[in-house]
Amino acid sequence: MPKVFYTLPDGTERVVAAEPGDSVMRTAIRNGVTGILGQCGGELSCATCHVFVDERHAGEFPPVSEDEDDMLDVAATDREDTSRLSCRLVLAAGQEVHVTVPEAQL
């Protein structure tokens, strides 16, 4: 099973076992990880699933699309080089991912 390590804004970490094929966003919502809202259910319409992906995973996910890029530009928490919309981060079997949840999504 894939595993996601969420570092929350208060510094605590939550580790969640995920289903392969689920996104980092969906895994958070399903398991009640706060701070990721995913208002649109993963249809790239809301930008409330912003996360910072740990640098060690650079290249593990498909590149940022034009829409995602534009949306990250206007995300509620300023974007960084490691910013992604987590509904785009689909987990493969056995994959382990470390992400940090930003202060605000709205």
Partner 1 sequence: MSTGRLLVVGAGQAGAQLVSSARELGWDGPISLVGGEPHAPYGRPPLSKAFLRGQAAAGSLALRSAAFYREREVDLVLGERIVLLDPPSGTAVAASGRRWRFDRLVLATGARPRRLAVEGADLDGVLVLRDLADAEALARRLGAVTDLVVVGGGFVGLEVAATAAAAGVRVTVVEAAPSLMNRVVGAETAGFVEAAHREAGIRVLTGARPVRFRGDGHGAVTAVELADGTDLAAGLVLVGVGARPRDALARAAGLRCDGGVVVDAYSLASDGRTLAIGDCADLPDPTPGSDRRLRLESVDNAVEQAKAAATTLVGDPRPYRGVPWFWSDQGALKIQIAGLALAGDEAVVRPGARPGQHIALRYRGERLVAAEFVNAPADFLVVRKALAQGAPLSREAAADTSMPLKRHLAGRPA
Contacting positions for ligand FES (CB under 6 A): 25, 38-40, 42, 44-49, 85, 87
CA 95/CA 5 separation, integer angstroms:
11
- First vs last Cα of the chain: how many Å apart? 31
> Cβ of residue 94: shortest distance to ligand FES, in angstroms?
24
> Cβ of residue 47: shortest distance to ligand FES, in angstroms?
5
> Cβ of residue 7: shortest distance to partner 1, in angstroms?
20
Q: Which residues bind partner 1 (CB under 8 A)?
A: 19, 21-22, 26, 29-32, 34, 39-41, 43-47, 67, 70-71, 73-75
